[in-house]
Amino acid sequence: MTHAFDVVVVGAGGAGLYCALEAGKSARTAVISKLYPVRSHTGTAQGGIGAALGNVEEDRAEWHAFDTIKGGDYLTDQKPAALLADEAVSAVYHLENLGLPFNRTPDGRIDQRRFGGHTRNFGEAPVRRACYAADRTGHMILQTLFQQCIKHNVVFYDEFHLVDIFIERNRCCGLAAVELATGDLHVFRAKAVLLATGGFGRMFRITSNAYANTGDGPAVLARRGVPLEDMEFFQFHPTGIRGLGILITEAVRGEGGVLRNRNGERFMEKYAPTLLDLAPRDMISRAILTEIGEGRGAKGDRSADDYVFLDASHLGKDVLAAKLPEISDFSRTYLGIDPAAEPIPVQPTAHYAMGGIPTDDRGRVTIDDKGTIIEGLYAAGECACVSVHGANRLGTNSLVDLVVFGRRAGQDVSGYVGQAGLPDLPPDLTDRIGEAIARLRERTGGPPPEPLREEMQNLMMQKVGIYRTEKDMAEAVRALGELRGRYRDIGLVDRGREFNTSLLEILELGNLLDLAYITACTALRRRESRGAHAREDFPERDDTAWLKHSLARLEGDAVVIGDKPVDISIWPPRPRKY
């Protein structure tokens, strides 16, 4: 079956929907999503969206931009970061006008709270910058944007799974997707395609990410020869529920929650004397591992599954019920703990991909260090790398990224499709992809995918996690290469056409393996410590040799890595102290 649209957006999270809403005003726009739209991962975002509204105390977009750049350990491109901070303000008011029910101050303005790394006056003290709807901010964004897209006649293809993208002579001309309900292959011709397929935390064992976060968009593009940017930087959030990884939002600390070790000490006093528990995530995750490594974890046995405590009991039942109902519920459901009475056991959890598909600040996919674009191809949201998060994203800045750059991409794409024609597809393309899927369906009798997935997740957790060494990462690269080889023999148990989720799981595992391999290769190459990339053997940041982005190209079994300059045109890099 073949469809034709001006714009096809892949992904119905915050980034995809914002882009579709903008593009849908003037162009025939479709959204395809492997999940029903409001089940997208944006719906789990808890704590808030950062914007310098200055509603509860003085704040400025310039301070927000500076915090973002310093938080990213100066790998952040500075002009896009300034754009992010500037346009965050109008994007939040736009969401409010679309109907998003933010929490309010007593005089009726959008309420704001503190979040890690967000400060007033270039680092003096924490500032209240996160706008929030209790701890269900992402849920509210997603519902608001979905309703608006329906109102503006965006066409939705729910439970359609992207399998390939067509790029001919540096021009994107469409994509192929499998319809989950029927197993049918659909081809979408389009003047422009935007990828907004979200993150890929599922390559790690302990993660806050949903099962669907398998990096399908970046992986498909990597196999089509598009390089991926800064893949070595993967963020661990300090407070996942012990053993499960389910997130306990930073807003708990924003409201006054405190991290403690087995002796009840507020250990962040040692590591970040000014910002304490509101230091950036990379620093707090490392501080937790240091406490555990020195025997001050809850168990005190220095083991990989030791943990620390997040104490919110002093906030009281009323604050927890009004501002943090979701995490209170999680604690009761998964741990049998009432956070108003006891501290929550937490450990770092793989959370956010700073790297991804390189784009310019209009969402156009770029392929080299000169900013050459692929015509008609866009990306936004967590799967993209603008790069506004550098080596470490600040909390609340992902939701800003989705709405600011989702909106900018939507505006650019509407202009582009207004003057572009519908490109032709190569004649035998549909047959080729159909045959590839049919071959996969016939692959019975091989080993099942689950053990491979577990091996990959354990490898990434143990060898490409928070602290990294040459020896561990070289071993990970070797083992992941071997897993990619074994993947080619995997067998399919279910050969049915309707709702064949095992077929999709195999496709998703292939995507995760490719991205894990690129992550390990790029991490092995970067011989310094910066943001989320902490090397025990190269503990210092090295601006002379490594103040540059990586661009990694998958060429069969090899990952070829080049460089791209960082825009440091506003603030020169300085040591990062909090």
Instruction: Give the binding site for ligand FAD (CB under 6 A).
Output: 10-16, 32-35, 40-42, 44-49, 137-138, 160-162, 196-199, 208-209, 212, 216, 247, 249, 352, 381-383, 395-399, 402
DSSP structural state of residue 493: S
Q: Measured from the CB of residue 294, what is the shortest distance to ligand FAD in angstroms?
A: 29
Q: Measured from the CB of residue 253, what is the shortest distance to ligand FAD in angstroms?
A: 12
Shorter beta-carbon distance to ligand FAD: residue 505 or 528: 505
Q: Measured from the CB of residue 160, what is the shortest distance to ligand FAD in angstroms?
A: 6
Query: What CA–CA distance (Å, rounded) separates 484 from 469?
Result: 22
Catalytic residue, chosen from 202, 242, 253, 281, is: 281
Shorter beta-carbon distance to ligand FAD: residue 297 or 339: 339
Q: Which distant-in-sequence residues (6+ apart) come within 8 Å of 231 by Cβ?
A: 353, 355, 356, 515, 518, 519, 522, 550, 552
Q: Kindly report the CA angle at 200 between 195 and 201, in degrees rounded to 5?
A: 155
Shorter beta-carbon distance to ligand FAD: residue 74 or 352: 352
Query: What CA–CA distance (Å, rounded) separates 266 from 410?
Result: 45
Q: Measured from the CB of residue 217, what is the shortest distance to ligand FAD in angstroms?
A: 6
Shorter beta-carbon distance to ligand FAD: residue 198 or 227: 198
Shorter beta-carbon distance to ligand FAD: residue 331 or 397: 397
**Residue 113 is a catalytic residue:** no
DSSP structural state of residue 530: B
Query: What CA–CA distance (Å, rounded) separates 486 from 483?
Result: 5
Helix (H, G, I), strand (E, B) or coil at 19: helix
Shorter beta-carbon distance to ligand FAD: residue 158 or 342: 158
Q: Which distant-in-sequence residues (6+ apart) come within 8 Å of 562 by Cβ?
A: 227, 368, 369, 550, 551, 552, 553
Task: State the helix-helix crossing angle for 429-441 and 501-525, rounded to 10 degrees.
Answer: 100
Of all residues in this chain, which one has the CB nearest to ligand FAD in the complex? 13
φ/ψ (deg, to 5) at 449: -75, -25
Q: Measured from the CB of residue 138, what is the shortest distance to ligand FAD in angstroms?
A: 5
**Residue 578 and residue 284 in contact, taking contact as beta carbons nearer than 8 Å:** no
| Number of residues that this document lists for the chain | 578
Q: Which distant-in-sequence residues (6+ apart) come within 8 Å of 359 by Cβ?
A: 365, 366, 378, 379, 380, 384, 385, 386, 405, 409
Q: Measured from the CB of residue 408, what is the shortest distance to ligand FAD in angstroms?
A: 14
Query: What CA–CA distance (Å, rounded) separates 35 from 13?
Result: 10
Task: Report the catalytic residues.
Answer: 281
